[in-house]
Amino acid sequence: MKLIKDMHHLRLFLRLTAYYVVIAGVIWFAYAQVPDLSRHLPLGVVEHLLSEDDPTGLTGVEIHASSVTDEFGGVVWLIVAILGAVLLMVPVSWVYMAIRKTSKVDQSLVETMIILPVAVTGIVLIVHNSLALAFSLTGVVAGVRFRNTLKSSADSVFIFMSVGVGLAAGIGMLMIALIMTVIFNYVFLALWTWNYGYVEEAKTYMRLSKKEKSTDVDRGVFD
């Protein structure tokens, strides 16, 4: 099996698997102690989100924190949501650093992937039921000029994932964010392992092409 033969792929696979096993164990233990944990923390239940019926689309998204009734509980909920989003983006950053050649790794992109969900989570909580605030935020963003250019259009996929995790955390659905990141990371690992889509002389994102110099070693964070 190619995954076993390539130590770089195997290291990333084992690191991801160990990380998610620990997360799954913590969640299982927490639910064993508090069966209705999703009512107190932003873990979310997927069917609640899918069952929401709003034909007009104007009532906003419900924040799933039904048992948060005091300031302390609200602060704990917010801290768990933000830290959960950050922890879920850590393995995504591992995947990015592992599959990209050292010379093409963008440190600012790695840092953005980790920090962006924090901002998105807070923004979602602030504007989730206010159309006026949403339009105000649009105006503020439009007034800010972003001059940083991504080295590859594929890098934007990692930014979209970061935003998605922040959105899920902001509405109290960390379970959705967990599922998204797990599938995202393992799909990228599979694409990297089998070099999917490679053709001769094609531009490569995750691996060196055959025509590149052998001295230009493709090193990842786990090499």
**Under-70 pLDDT residues of the chain:** 1-6, 38, 40, 44-69, 129-151, 197-223
CB 74 within 8 A of CB 32: no
- Evaluated on CA atoms 41, 44, 48, 52, the torsion sign reads positive
Whole-number pLDDT of residue 21: 95
pLDDT, residue 25, reads 93
Sequence-separated (6 or more) residues with CB below 8 Å from residue 22: none
Residue 215, pLDDT score: 42
pLDDT given at position 24: 92
Q: What's this model's pTM, rounded to 2 decimal places?
A: 0.77
Q: What is the pLDDT of residue 118?
A: 92
Alpha-carbon distance of 160 to 102, in angstroms, equals: 22
User: CA 82 to CA 122: how far, in whole Å?
Assistant: 8
Q: What is the per-residue pLDDT for 89?
A: 95
Dihedral sign of CA atoms 145, 146, 148, 153 in order: negative
Q: Say if residues 173 and 61 touch (Cβ distance below 8 Å).
A: no
Domain boundaries, the chain: 2-46+60-194
141/162 Cα distance (integer angstroms): 17
Minimal CA–CA distance to 100: which of 205, 17, 176? 205
The answer to whether 42 and 77 are in contact (CB under 8 A) is yes
Position 48, amino acid? H
Q: Would you give the DSSP letter of residue 214?
A: T
- CB contact at 8 A, 44 and 38: yes
Cβ(142)–Cβ(34) under 8 Å? no
